[in-house]
Structure 1
């Protein structure tokens, strides 16, 4: 109770609020992210390990409750759960996410108390990045809105993502917070300021690199205009409560074909992109496909669309595999390519550990039981080699990297964000997708059922976008690129390096504590 009434509690809450205001959906005042952690660092610097734990918990619970409030909408409105259960789900998820912030607070206390400032300025941001990386991997990963994503509307500042992924941007942000903190916490002397100079020089170098790469990539885009392709995007705006109605399947197909026909009235596109599960039926057994293929042939453009899919593994044993797929429909009446979603959503598209937990069988029936696919060859249409990210996959950087390694010269994101309602989740999802463009230097075409659909350049600039919950059709010139960035070539290296550096710092702090006790 004493902590709840203390200054440290209010400082922890202040950091949570500042972070939320800096993030998309909370205000989008991104400059605040460079100072948002300072109140929490003051608490960490001046508290016991117990109070650091409580500070991390308080900051994490509030921050993630504000950031992820839309979970209540997903579970309550569309998941059919009672609202009080939905709120409990939000609290539990926020509590889980808070554990990572607790770890940051407690371990940062070790750095600030046991090691010199010259080391702490590097170890604190390294710890943050290392913990974020673990969060993106543990239990299939939930890397939703790492701190670097707050800068999605500032392409000039995020170009270092092609070196170390979005984690490099997060490192820069936390380093800036740490430097400001040390300037404020200590009485300024020439010697103390001098210790911070290497960190300042690192930030200057990062900004210089971002500026240089921004100019270089902009020139590359301008030089490749002759090889650009034309891509169309359709946002059908089918309400989630209507989406899977058998009676409305024909109407849904008509909506998409009619909007596509209008979009192509002034000229064809190399292909047109429809959202995730735009076809609310299984194409292999649907009588609607004949008419759809006829439309594709008459339109002069291929169509890339999302649809559920199945494959019969053993007809006698009635063994069937179901997939969340993207299919490329050709004008010749054939499928020009398919991709099965690789990273499925736990408890949304499959139930983990169902073999060992048979009592979860009813839940399997409720959410579906999809089989994961794997990334192989891109979907090819003329000069386009498209790598596909379905829904939640756009938040996992390594999937975009794998597509580029497989030969993709552009990326396509098909999603159905109707589940989120008119919340901040769709803009957060878009913000994370922006970074996949910078990391891979690939244009991204995003088609979302109810928004936000967008065209994103290799610079991470959103050149065109839709609003939420409106029908929308857009056509854009898309740059194709074959360059492989440093990030694509080396993958996850920077974040594990940061984690290793933080572990080394903890070991050093332990050795120093042992020597002090021994002496």
Structure 2
């Protein structure tokens, strides 16, 4: 083969690969090695470090509101190329660089509650990429490495979405692919399968790049004077893996277009209310009253338009999270205002309200079924309150160190049962705010005929977070084959069809009333039946590949 004519195997490697000294393979002094490492950006080298940063930025651009969705697998490919062939420790560092370049811009909406919290959260999330990068560096030594490295992305998201404090599963790869040919795969294996396939395409693109580089190197290494019939053969052999990798990526994309996403079902007319939030300048109590009054007024307006024949009569209505920050059980004015609006529209309303817990020590974030005849009835309490936002871990210590936490005088209680409730003619499955990012919570309530997301995005308005939350809802619609009603105080509210299509969508910071006849479905998807099994199986596959590669390397060292 052409490569065998090279006088020194290290000559075929890039800078710093396989050559301990500066030239001729002579050992360098420790000081020279350190200086050389600094010039190359440490052990990783500046080219690879910059490539890792570019990987993170590419993945960020794939997410809403920019939505350059093909860049998600491109980012995975760039990170894989940066890490592949490196030691596990170097791979971990490169992945952390990519994670920081990704999470800092993708979570920029968190800066509304403080730049320090934004940067700290982003870097904590980037830290989950440390074992991911180490694992990719090790697993990429095995044949079929695009599969094993893709499975490691699922493992990273599994851990990040659970540990600590229940995890933070925002900005998963799957949530960048909510209107692409990969979206239908969610109905088979949920968000974890979509993440796996997104990363697999990225791995296959990296595989194609490696094959193309080898073909180019084989052509350049052709010995002088070789015969015309002999020289091209190594290069053409190297092109076969290139074609195979690209064909496999195309097959994954094409396969998604063949998966059916049914959107038919029993018709039900629904309404989603976005009352909006008041302008700044009111006192705290005035703000709370104004938010409630806005939603009451919008519901009265809906009722008036129904009576005038301008809108069809809805069979159920959904208000957002925090539509009433005044406890309707304890505040007669709030109770009467809500009850009057519900009686006026004449159908059950799912009301988002903050209430005292039964012991009076905590706050409950509730979705309350409010009937026009019997008043408040069944309810759901948010099961995943936000740590450091709705409850404060290590309260005694942190309140002494950070005075800002005094804004959380009482913790929110954690709900203990699912949000499946009867709302007029349909059974709805309710999740509140960022619970839509959690597979388990949404899967648990997908037993309902409709899915509801009650949210309050006013703090994060006009940032990337509201459109990212809508993207999650679109994926959940396909994953569970359900219409999803998203009600937000200030936007973005939406009605999403079971196939992920946007039937209606509000602008931010304006009042809006959405009325639509939507399909109500009871059929369960394969993803519903499999539950968390695909995620755990793929994560185990990635971990198994790392262990196999490490065992093989140790075995080879012993020979």
State if a TM-score over 0.5 links the two structures. Answer: yes
Verify the 8 A CA contact 2:383 2:415 in the aligned structure 1.
yes
1:91 is matched with which residue? 119
Aligned to 2:142: 115
- 1:434 and 2:474 matched: yes
Per-residue deviation at 1:232?
0.9
Q: Is 1:287 paired with 2:329? A: no
Change (3 A) 1:47 1:378: closer
Moved more, 339-348 or 258-267: 258-267
Counterparts of 1:417 and 1:341 in 2: how far apart (Å)?
A: 16
The TM-score, its normalising length taken from structure 2, stands at 0.81
Deviation string 1:145-192 (CA, Å, 9 cap, x unpaired) is 1112112233x4311111211111111111111111111113346665
TM-score of the aligned structures, taking structure 1 as reference length: 0.87
Instruction: Work out whether residues 268 and 300 of structure 1, in 8 Å CA contact, stay in contact via their aligned partners in 2.
Output: no
Partner of 1:488: 528
1:502 deviates by 1.5
After superposing the two structures, state which structure 1 stretch, 174-183 or 189-198, moved more: 189-198
State the 1:62 CA deviation.
1.6
Gaps of 5+ in 2: 1-37, 216-234, 306-310
Conserved? CA contact 2:350–2:423, under 8 Å: no
Structure 1 residue aligned with 2:50 = 10
Report the equivalent of 1:81.
Answer: none
The answer on 1:137 being equivalent to 2:162 is: yes
For residue 193 of structure 1, report the CA deviation from its aligned partner: 6.0
Partner of 2:19: none
* Other-structure match for 1:278: 323
Please name the residue that 2:423 is paired with: 381
SS at match of 1:213: coil
- After the TM superposition, which residues 210-229 of structure 1 pair with which residues of structure 2 at under 5 Å, given as runs? 210-214=256-260, 217-218=262-263, 221=264, 224=265, 227-229=266-268
Aligned to 1:80: none
Q: What is the CA distance between 1:419 and its match in structure 2? A: 1.2
CA distance in 2, matches of 1:278, 1:419: 14
Contact 2:277/2:291 (8 A) holds in 1: yes
Whole-Å Cα distance in 2 between the matches of residues 454 and 396 of structure 1? 19
Note closer, same or farther for the CA distance 1:439–1:504 as it changes in structure 2 (3 Å cut). Answer: same
2:222 aligned with 1:180: no
Match of 2:170, SS state, is: coil
Q: Distance in 1 between matches of 2:240 and 2:193?
A: 24
Return the offset for 1:384: 0.7
Correspondence for 1:454 among 478, 491, 494: 494
Instruction: Please state if 1:349 is matched with 2:398.
Output: no
Separation of aligned partners in 2, 1:324 and 1:29: 35
Post-superposition Cα deviations, 1:180-232, rounded to whole Å, max 9, x if no partner, equal: 11111133466656667887676566545533433x514xx1xx3xx211111
Matched, 1:255 2:294: yes
Query: 1:28-177 alignment to 2 at 5 Å?
Result: 28-75=67-114, 86=115, 88-112=116-140, 114-116=141-143, 118=144, 120-139=145-164, 140-154=166-180, 156-177=181-202
Task: Provide, for residues 476-519 of structure 1, a one-character-per-residue CA deviation record: whole Å limited to 9, x for no partner.
Answer: 11211111112212211112111211221122112212221221
Q: CA 1:355/1:428 → structure 2, altered by over 3 Å: closer, same or farther?
A: same
Shift of 1:451: 0.6
User: Partners in 2 of 1:115 and 1:263 — Cα distance?
Assistant: 62
Larger Rg: 2
Q: Cα distance, 1:357 vs. partner?
A: 7.8
1:454-473 per-residue CA deviation (whole Å, 9 max, x = no partner) reads 00111112111011122211
**CA 1:377–1:100: 2 relative to 1, 3 Å:** closer
SS of the residue corresponding to residue 103 of structure 1 reads: helix
Query: Do the aligned partners of residues 388 and 107 (structure 1) sit closer, same or farther apart at CA in structure 2, a change above 3 Å counting?
Result: same
Aligned partners of 2:208 and 2:357: how far apart in 1? 62
Instruction: Give the Cα–Cα distance (whole angstroms) in 2 for the partners of residues 398 and 69 of structure 1.
Output: 26
Given that 2:296 and 2:337 are in contact with CA atoms closer than 8 Å, whether structure 1 keeps it comes out as no
Pairwise CA distance, 1:447:
0.6
Structure 1 stretches lacking a partner, 5+ long: 76-85, 314-318
Q: Secondary structure at the match of 1:12?
A: helix
Matched, 1:297 2:343: yes
Return the offset for 1:14: 1.4
Q: For the residues of structure 1 that align with 2:547 and 2:287, how far apart are their CA atoms?
A: 62
Following superposition, the deviation at residue 356 of structure 1 comes to 8.9
SS in 2 for 1:263: helix
CA distance, structure 1, for counterparts of residue 381 and residue 123 of structure 2: 32
After superposition, the Cα gap between the structure-2 partners of 1:376 and 1:103, relative to the gap in structure 1 and judged at 3 Å, is closer
More displaced stretch, 125-134 vs 254-263: 254-263
Task: Find the residue that maps to 2:344 and give its secondary structure.
Answer: helix
SS of corresponding position for 2:373? coil
Paired with 1:323 and 1:495, the residues of 2 have a C-alpha distance of 31
User: For 1:505 and 1:145, how far apart are their aligned partners in 2?
Assistant: 25
Contact 1:297/1:333, CA 8 A, preserved across alignment: no
Q: Is the contact made by 1:239 and 1:450 (CA closer than 8 Å) also made in structure 2? A: no
The 5 Å alignment of 1:318-357 reads 320-354=361-395
Contact 2:208 2:241 in 1 (8 A): no
Q: 391, 394, 409: which one pairs with 2:436?
A: 394
User: How far apart, in 2, do the equivalents of 1:137 and 1:309 lie?
Assistant: 27
